[in-house]
Amino acid sequence: MIVKKILRLEWLQFTRSLGFQQNLFIKILMGIGLLFFAAIFMIFGGGFFFFAQKVLPETDPLELVNNYVIFWFLFSLIIRYFLQQLPVINIKPLLTIPIKRNTIIHFLLGKTFVSPFNFFPLLFLLPFSVVLLYHDYPPVNVVFWFLSLKLLVLSNNLINFLINKNDTAFYSIVSILGLFVGLEYFSIFKISLPIGIVFNYIYQQPLLVIAPIILLTILYFSTFKLIRKGFYIDDVIQDKKQKNVQIVDLSWMNRFGSMAPFLKNDIKLISRNARPKQVVMMSFLFLFYGLIFYTNKTYADMPAFLAFASVFVTGGFLMSFGQLVPAWDSEYYKMLMSQNIPYKQYLKAKWTLMTTAVTISFILSIPYLYFGTKIFGMIAAGALFNIGLNSFFTLLSGALNKIPIELNVKAKAFNNTNKFNLTQVLVAMPKIILPMLLFYVPYKFISFNAGILTLALSGVLGIVFKNFFINKIEKIYQKEKYKTIAAFSENQ
């Protein structure tokens, strides 16, 4: 059987991939972590019924789920867009041998259905449905309702496939979700009501399971057609030619002296490659991190957590970009190492870039003044901490990172975890704990303002000793040089 043969190739690709045999210990740890989260999900699923009954005794928990299914549906699409790894088969060698194109495509599509993203919802749905049955809901209805939702999850899977290359579709979904949430929140128009009615109806009429089946079938064949159309390496070749090169004059940056070449290069690195662009977008989202904490009353009495959140508001880019220095340059690291490059200038350039991003984030975070000067003071202190200390911790953890980056390939979930680095995690700890401590200790013994001041001063101190830190990190670069070169050139 041909499918069996393709499956075998897939298996070999998996087991022979780099780092598969490395670090069994880490793998076990991660497995335990995954089981832990799965268990939490399941407990949540099982407990949701009782929880809902207690909080909203007049509403049927099932109806509650039905009402909000639409939000979960749209939100999971966004998550999938960012994180779900679309299946990639190296088609070139398969095209020239006698396997029917259709077989390969069916296989490819089939492969997407085994994604963890299709199983996560089950962790909630399954225990929830069991509890429903336990509470004497009619079994036929529950089972078919469950099936309908499962089919929708699978449809979601295919929709993600269809929109994956299409940013407009993605942004429309984001805006639709935003719109619905907004309208719902301000009670202008509750989309949950009509959608809830539809799903309640599906629950009442088990035969309506036919609707999601039809939806899934239509989606399957449209995806199939889409892939079939693009199943030639023509596309790969043409694609290369059409890309527009944007040349921006960056000569004004020459004022930065000896680190100018690196800075200019980093700007190009970020603007011309998929992965760094993704990081910039993610770090923009960090700006809103504070909203979760500042609006939640539970945290109002836990200022240490607020300090932690404040550091994140301005530190998104700093941390997500910085922890991958020098891996950003991994594709041409050998060249950099044999060129006339002083590490110090290289590091200073990255530091300047990161701290500039903190400054920009800080300016963008001015609207947080809405939550009062105390909160804003915290954000300001957090920004100083980011510039003065966090920048160096981040660069330090980056120096220990040995995973190369494919610049023009978006990062997806469940990828790149093979070479998980324990030292790196340990180095990352101060980033989280230190700001909390620096704030909390003086806050506890003196006052809130003393806490802010300490956090801010720690950052200033870091800036004063900047050269000391850079020298230390430079030493690590030198010490790790050969290991880093070897690790970065492994994937070529």
Partner 1 sequence: MITVENLSKKYANSEVLAIERLEIPKGQSFGLVGNNGAGKTTFFNLLLDLIQPSNGFIKNHDILVHESEDWKPFTSSFIDESFLIGYLTAEEYFYFIGELRNQSKTEIDNFLTQFEEIFNDEILNKKKYLRDLSKGNQKKAGIVAAFIGDPALIILDEPFANLDPTTQIRLKKLLKNLTEQKNSTVLISSHDLGHITDVCERIVVLDKGKLVKDIKTSEKTLKELENHFSLVEVV
Rule CB under 8 A: which residues touch partner 1? 240-241, 243-245, 247, 260-261, 264-265, 268-269, 272-273, 331-335, 337-341, 407-408, 482, 485-486, 489, 492
CB of 342 to partner 1, least distance (A): 9
Helix (H, G, I), strand (E, B) or coil at 244: coil
- Do residues 275 and 408 touch, judged by C-beta distance below 8 A? yes
Residue 15 vs 251, nearer CB to partner 1: 251
Residue 229 vs 243, nearer CB to partner 1: 243
CB of 336 to partner 1, least distance (A): 9
Residue 97 vs 247, nearer CB to partner 1: 247
Conformational region of residue 248, where left means phi above 0, alpha means psi within -120 to 50, and beta covers everything else:
beta
Residue 312 vs 328, nearer CB to partner 1: 328
Alpha-carbon distances, residue 305 vs 193, 204, 295, 359, 441 (angstroms)? 36, 46, 13, 22, 13
DSSP state of 243: P
d(CA 246, CA 268): 10
CB of 258 to partner 1, least distance (A): 9
- Do residues 347 and 266 touch, judged by C-beta distance below 8 A? no
CB of 473 to partner 1, least distance (A): 17
CB of 418 to partner 1, least distance (A): 21
CB of 18 to partner 1, least distance (A): 16
Alpha-carbon distances, residue 90 vs 93, 102, 113, 275 (angstroms)? 7, 15, 19, 21
**Cβ atoms within 10 A of the Cβ of 186, count?**
8
Give 168-174 contacts, CB < 8 A, sequence gap 24+. 170/78, 170/81, 173/74, 173/77, 173/78, 173/81, 174/78
The token duo for 20 is: 């598969």
CB of 241 to partner 1, least distance (A): 8
Residue 60 vs 406, nearer CB to partner 1: 406
CB of 264 to partner 1, least distance (A): 8
**Cβ atoms within 10 A of the Cβ of 65, count?**
22
CB of 55 to partner 1, least distance (A): 52
d(CA 113, CA 33): 23
Residue 207 vs 248, nearer CB to partner 1: 248
Residue 359 vs 478, nearer CB to partner 1: 478
d(CA 156, CA 356): 39
Place of tokens 């880093």: 484
d(CA 383, CA 90): 45
CB of 340 to partner 1, least distance (A): 5
CB of 279 to partner 1, least distance (A): 15
Residue 208 vs 260, nearer CB to partner 1: 260
CB of 204 to partner 1, least distance (A): 56
What helix, strand, coil percent values describe the chain, rounded to 5?
A: 80, 0, 20
d(CA 454, CA 438): 6
Residue 13 vs 258, nearer CB to partner 1: 258
d(CA 159, CA 242): 26
Residue 138 vs 261, nearer CB to partner 1: 261
- Do residues 470 and 351 touch, judged by C-beta distance below 8 A? yes
Residue 294 vs 477, nearer CB to partner 1: 477
d(CA 136, CA 60): 13
- Do residues 396 and 476 touch, judged by C-beta distance below 8 A? yes
- Terminal-to-terminal C-alpha distance of the chain: 33
Residue 10 vs 474, nearer CB to partner 1: 474
Place of tokens 């001015």: 366
